[in-house]
A and B are shown apart, each in its own frame.
Chain A
């Protein structure tokens, strides 16, 4: 599909959208909590990919994971009303499951949610605030009343737990 985009094939764009728009929109909506704003992020990301399909490099991870991370980053930028901080080319997903199909994505999401659900509540809350709200550790500390060091440790531990669960 990306090859099709590179040659300007609009049907390849439609196919790519049908396959990945759901994950992009879901992530944007999770961060922004607003359907209109999530639609804007969705539109922006796919249009950027149309304009610059070479930005995705298969060596950098699966297309689904790459788009999901870009959706999160763009949504956080939008949430915090700042200019986009990350170029498409700079997003590298070195370890993530290959999620070409809907069923694979569903299974992976279930597994990740299971791992998240098994985390201590404070740890899960810290990583979610950092990832889905874009809060800094000091903002999380101020919000929860916990020491800065504790927040840092919780966030790293949560990421390590995910890494361990996926054997990477």
Chain B
């Protein structure tokens, strides 16, 4: 929770379900991007559960038991299969709209691709096109979905307004997806440039990007030398066209998690 103390008390109220108005809206927005506060929220919900467990009172009347069992007997139940990802997994904490968008897009297109292959099996040209799309999407989504992907969080040296970047790099597939949020706006002629810092040698340009109006940005599969092992990732501010060597200072940097 370091650096998030302004939300500490609101989180407690939110855990109890009693936070309202703009404070609730602001906190919910923050929770979409902050894994630390989401974790703290779960802890606070656990803490508040103790309050419920402190209660003891009379047993329910016997008729309540019979009422329930009668209702159960009358109700033909269709078992509902609920599959849920582990709540504490890294994936569950992501909560990044951009990540969700990429994955949802990939899944929908995978499905679309499957349907396409069925109905247009006789059309070789379309099948080929579909396969190409599938392969492209696999390449895009692989660094996010594959467990062996290297995950790197880049954090600003300055704490406010807490720009964050997350790089997903799969060396053996030469794939990199980078997601950023809360990035400060830049002068019109400037852009951010992402750098892959290899274990040896000079930093490698890994994409130039400009954040949108909300400070969010995405870099997907920039051109990188094959099989480069990354020691870290960094961001500098460069001219819009990008640079071949980073211009100091480095504004964000992160090594593998």
With A26-B56, A94-B45, A127-B51 already in contact, the answer to whether A134 and B68 are too (CB < 8 A) is: no
Residues of B within 8 A of A155 (CB): 9, 12-13, 16
Q: Given contacts A6-B79, A109-B56, A127-B51, is CB(A60)–CB(B45) below 8 Å?
A: no
Q: Is A108 an interface residue (CB 8 A)?
A: yes
Tell me which of B13, B48, B57 has the highest count of chain A C-beta atoms within 10 A of its own C-beta. Answer: B48
Residues of B within 8 A of A149 (CB): 9
CA distance A13 to B73 in the complex (A): 10
**Minimum CB–CB distance for B223 against chain A, Å:** 41
Question: Roughly how many angstroms separate A154 CA and B45 CA in the complex, as a whole number?
Answer: 16
* B65 nearest CB across to chain A (Å): 6
| Chain A: interface size category | 35 or more
CB–CB B49/A96 < 8 A: yes
Chain A binding site: helix, strand, loop or mixed by DSSP? helix
CB atoms of A131 and B59 under 8 A apart: no
**Residues of B contacting A137 in the complex (Cβ-Cβ under 8 angstroms):** 13, 18-19
Q: Does B158 contact A (CB under 8 A)?
A: no
Chain B residue nearest to A30 in the complex (CB): B55
A54, B77: Cα distance in complex, Å: 13
Residue of A nearest to B12 (CB): A156
Cβ of B40 to closest chain A Cβ, rounded Å: 10
Is B58 among interface residues, defined by CB-CB distance under 8 A? yes
CA distance A134 to B42 in the complex (A): 19
* Contact call A61/B49, Cβ cutoff below 8 A: yes
What total of A-B pairs shows CB separation below 8 Å?
A: 194
Residues of B with C-beta under 8 A to A106: 56
B72 touches A47 (CB 8 A): yes
A100 at the interface (CB under 8 A from B): no
Inter-subunit contact A162/B47 (CB<8 Å):
yes
- Report chain B residues within 8 Å CB of A85: 17
Does A86 contact B64, Cβ atoms closer than 8 Å? no
CA distance A59 to B42 in the complex (A): 13
Binding site for A on B (CB under 8 A): 8-13, 15-20, 42-61, 64-65, 67-69, 71-73, 75, 77, 79-84, 86-88
Extra inter-chain contacts (12) besides given A94-B46, A152-B13, CB under 8 Å:
A21-B59, A21-B64, A30-B55, A55-B82, A59-B87, A73-B17, A116-B54, A131-B51, A131-B52, A135-B18, A156-B11, A159-B15
Which A-B residue pairs are the 6 nearest by beta carbons?
A95-B46, A54-B82, A26-B57, A68-B52, A112-B54, A156-B12
> A residues near B, CB below 8 A?
6-8, 10, 13-14, 17-18, 21-23, 25-27, 29-30, 35, 38-39, 42-43, 46-47, 50-55, 57, 59-61, 64-65, 68-69, 71-73, 76, 85-86, 89, 91-97, 99, 105-106, 108-109, 112-113, 116, 127-128, 130-132, 134-138, 149, 152-153, 155-156, 159-160, 162-163, 166, 168
